[in-house]
Amino acid sequence: MEADISSQAVGLASSADFSLINLFLKADIIVKTVIISLIACSIYSWAIIFDKIKMFKKINLSSEEFEEKFWRSKSAETFYNSLPSDVEDPMTSLFKESMQGLIKSKSKTNLVEKMGGILEVGIEKQISKIEKGFTFLATVGSTAPFIGLFGTVWGIMNSFQSIAISRNTSLAIVAPGIAEALFATALGLLAAIPAVVAYNRFTNDSRKYSQKLESFSKRFISII
């Protein structure tokens, strides 16, 4: 008798569809909400990651070109006048804003201090633009595993409820709920791991670029 029940349970478990789509369709509204939220966070995180990789590659090249042209120019004012009205490179934007502040300054007293303040504010402004989206990556990296864990706990609770209602502890009863729960956990990790890795890398890249802007600022002040 026990052997027959065991064989039936194994047969039901083996015939169950454990595909990701089927697990999602059979999940309750809470687990579905968790899964959709994690997938959305993961997609948006990857969009930010690809955008930042492209951005850092672009600004590193454009800043190198700017510095090369700047130090070859006859004067800062001549180089400033030759720049286009619209620029995307952070270092070029920093230089233009500082030159505009220098030209508009009526008093030439304490010029170095004034330029230092303008450049410091300009660096903070450019770095703020560069680091746009970093907070989202950090949030996903720190919260996604816990969101997935919430889905896991909820799925396991549903499994125990199924056992209590059916009074059957066979694998066929508990397996779908546990599979849904583990699916939510896996999605939480899938969203969190790339976000954490990307955040750490981009934070380091941002710090290096900030140092590059500060180095340029010091050399620029020295020639004023």
pLDDT for position 205? 96
pLDDT at 160 over 80: no
pLDDT for position 137? 96
Q: Which residue, 111, 80, 52, 98, is CA-closest to 213?
A: 98
| pTM for the full predicted model | 0.80
Number of alpha carbons in the 13 Å side-chain half-sphere of residue 214: 8
Mean pLDDT computed over every residue of the chain: 83
Cβ atoms of 187 and 42 within 8 Å: the answer is: yes
| Phi then psi dihedrals of residue 210, to 5 deg | -60, -40
pLDDT for position 206? 96
pLDDT in tens, 172-190: 666 666 777 788 888 999 9
Q: Which residue, 128, 141, 125, is CA-closest to 93?
A: 125
In the chain, domain spans? 20-223
Any idea what DSSP says for residue 17?
Answer: -
Any idea what DSSP says for residue 28?
Answer: -
